[in-house]
Amino acid sequence: MNEEWWKNAVIYQVYPKSFLDTNNDGIGDLKGIDTKLNYLKELGVDALWISPIYLSPQIDNGYDIADYRKIDPMFGNNKDLEQLIKDAHRKNIRIIMDMVANHTSDKSVWFEESCKSKNNYFSDFYIWKDPKSDGSKPNNWGSNFGGSAWTYDDNRKQYYLHYYGKQQPDLNWENPKVRQVIYDVMRYWKAHGVDGWRMDVITSISKNQEFPNNPNPHQLKYVVGNQNNGPRMHEFIHEMNQEVFKPFSMMSVGEAPDSKSKDARLLVEPDREELNMIFTFEHMHVDRKPGDVNGRWAIQPVDVVQLKRTLANWQNTLDGHGWNALYFENHDRARTPSRWGNDKNYRYESATAFATILHGLKGTPFVYQGEEIGMTNPEFELKDYEDIELRTNYDKLVRKEKTISEADFLKAARKISRDNARTPMQWDSSENAGFTKGDPWFKLNPNYKNLNVSRDLNSDKSVFKYYQKLIELRHKENILKDGKFKLLLPDDKSIFIYTRTLGADEWVVVANLSDKLQQVDVLSKYSDYKTIISNYESEKLKILRPYEARILKK
Ligand code: GLC
Ligand code: CA
């Protein structure tokens, strides 16, 4: 077995709730994924990362797990997962599960027991603190989902910590028993055939045991910050590697919110035996105003220079020291054509231009369901959004702190909110896009009649077919895996251009990330290069039309 199979693989993320419903309850399910394996095989992906499907109250769409060993009945049962794994393996598609190890649901028996007393087996499974002498919270830490990160429990007369919702208490990784139960769960799923793990907010597991107040420049009641890269993080992740990833040859990709490229080296440098890859957030912050009190809701137009600088920095810093995970979309991100491209006049062109840039880089590309047909943001009204993050931040920023107007919040939500990617998958033009024959759990993007898999496949501008080609290149061409990366024109505000070189081979990857025609003089250097892939029919050597993209080969 090829231990580093993920190095020339493309991984497809399934958000099961919104993928395909087979029993008409309006919720996507495991059988739905199984039904579409041929579709995924045709696309060419090597593995599926499946967002959490364990028993869960679904406060945060499954990122609040009540029982790690049980599939939630809304998705099917454990047997259905075994079947899916078997069917996928038969087609040479690997299965990556999502492990939420930083927190559980408050409905987990571990937490219910922990609440009961200070001296039972589970008492120290979570992070409990006494109130301050005046009864107030242990410190000023804020939750990502609004308000304090501490909630009082009447029975224990103590506060427990939660970086996310109060229904998502953080596990106490200082407790070796906690670490062992998590490793045990991971081995349990390995025994069922799972091939690897996506580790949810894994850089948050180690907490500063002094629990200091966060710096508070905006004089807020609670401050979100310093949740990542705690003092024992590397030690814990290394231990997980030794207990699970290494002995059972499981692939690992960790979500690493605040990591800079130099932190990444410590997480993915192979000799250190921690993780294979991490998802950085840095390049996804190029459309937010830095340091703004409204955080990610303070949007600005995408800064292409900053995007290039950030991606290039990760390429260069990890070169020879680790492997990049490459993505623009996932269940927490908006749709790229709507967010950074132009989903009105150049949907096909902008979807494929960003795809070209991403898939030409060194690392493992991740494709999020619907990305392969260029799905777009739905532009809902506030009442239509479901996400806990959006709702809690609306309460905090618009209602309580009044740091952003409702109109600006809605504008930001339509651009960047997580729900943009969570609308049901658009399979065809039939009612509810062929996603369900029941009542869909979440509103569909009303554009599904025109934008769906079956129409895309029959169009001469098929995003799917473009992705298919990119994925095929990744499988065939070692230069994409091993070639050296070099950024050209770092200061150009619209053109993203770089080379990959391996021995005597050289490829040029170029895209115009604007909706204006651009003249790119440096392209004349490559006049005798051959076009391998392009998103316009004919080309003019030095001219790139709106969102025109190409890969050229010496
Ligand atoms: C990660 C998940 C996100 C979830 C959060 C808390 O960021 O991707 O969806 O809300 O962790 O588990
Ligand atoms: Ca269903």
Q: Ligand 1 test: best mutation among 332, 387, 388, most atoms within 8 Å of CB?
A: 332
Are the beta carbons of 142 and 122 closer than 8 angstroms?
no
Task: Tell which phi-psi region holds residue 312, choosing left (phi > 0), alpha (psi between -120 and 50) or beta.
Answer: alpha
**Quick one: which atom of ligand 1 is closest to the CA of 63?**
12
Are the beta carbons of 421 and 15 closer than 8 angstroms?
yes
Of all helices (H) and strands (E), which one includes residue 519?
strand 518-519
Q: Measuring CA to CA, how many Å separate 157 from each of 79, 81, 168, 172, 273?
A: 42, 41, 18, 18, 41
Cα(56) to centroid(ligand 2), Å:
15
Of all helices (H) and strands (E), which one includes residue 162?
none
Structure tokens given for 425: 């998958």
* pLDDT at 537 > cutoff 60: yes
Of all helices (H) and strands (E), which one includes residue 154?
none
β-partners of residue 71 are 54
Q: Ligand 1 test: best mutation among 13, 63, 108, most atoms within 8 Å of CB?
A: 63
What is the reported pLDDT for 3? 80
Q: Which of 34, 255, 349, 389 is catalytic?
A: 255
Strands 543-544 and 530-534: unpaired
Average pLDDT score over residue span 16-44: 98
What is the reported pLDDT for 2? 63
Cα(28) to centroid(ligand 2), Å:
5
Q: Is 202 in the pocket of ligand 1 (CB under 6 A)?
A: no
Cα(155) to centroid(ligand 1), Å:
28
Structure tokens given for 178: 């906690």
* pLDDT at 1 > cutoff 90: no
* pLDDT at 379 > cutoff 60: yes
**Quick one: which atom of ligand 1 is closest to the CA of 164?**
6
**Quick one: which atom of ligand 1 is closest to the CA of 102?**
12
- Composition of the chain by helix, strand, coil, percent to 5: 35, 20, 45
Q: Residue 191: pLDDT band by 50, 70, 90 thresholds?
A: very high
> 398-452: per-residue pLDDT in tens?
999 999 999 999 999 999 999 999 999 999 999 999 999 999 999 999 999 999 9
**Quick one: which atom of ligand 1 is closest to the CA of 418?**
9
Query: What span, in angstroms and rounded, lies between the C-alpha atoms of 267 and 337?
Result: 31
Cα(254) to centroid(ligand 2), Å:
29
Query: What span, in angstroms and rounded, lies between the C-alpha atoms of 144 and 225?
Result: 9
Q: Which long-range contacts (C-beta less than 8 Å, at least 24 apart) are formed by 521-525?
A: 522/488, 522/489, 522/497
- Tell me which residue has its CA closest to atom 5 in ligand 1: 63
Q: Ligand 1 test: best mutation among 106, 164, 296, most atoms within 8 Å of CB?
A: 164
> 205-216: per-residue pLDDT in tens?
999 999 999 999
> 249-290: per-residue pLDDT in tens?
999 999 999 999 999 999 999 999 999 999 999 999 999 999
Three-state SS letters, 297-353: HCECCCCHHHHHHHHHHHHHHHCCCCCCEECCCCCCCCCHHHHCCCCCCCHHHHHHH
**Average per-residue pLDDT for the chain:** 97
Q: Which of 72, 200, 371, 389 is catalytic?
A: 200
Length of the chain: 554
Query: What span, in angstroms and rounded, lies between the C-alpha atoms of 33 and 21?
Result: 9
153 belongs to the catalytic site:
no
What is the reported pLDDT for 242? 98
Q: CB under 8 Å to 353, separation ≥6 — which residues?
A: 341, 511, 512, 513, 535, 547, 548, 549
Query: What span, in angstroms and rounded, lies between the C-alpha atoms of 440 and 156?
Result: 40
Domains of the chain and CATH, by start:
8-102+176-469 (3.20.20.80), 109-161 (3.90.400.10), 483-553 (2.60.40.1180)
> 65-107: per-residue pLDDT in tens?
999 999 999 999 999 999 999 999 999 999 999 999 999 999 9
Q: CB under 8 Å to 403, separation ≥6 — which residues?
A: 293, 294, 397
Cα(272) to centroid(ligand 2), Å:
42
42 belongs to the catalytic site:
no
Three-state SS letters, 412-460: HHHHHCHHHHCCCCCCCCCHHHHCCCCCCCCCCCHHHHCCCHHHHHCCC
Query: What span, in angstroms and rounded, lies between the C-alpha atoms of 13 and 47?
Result: 9
Query: What span, in angstroms and rounded, lies between the C-alpha atoms of 336 and 342?
Result: 9
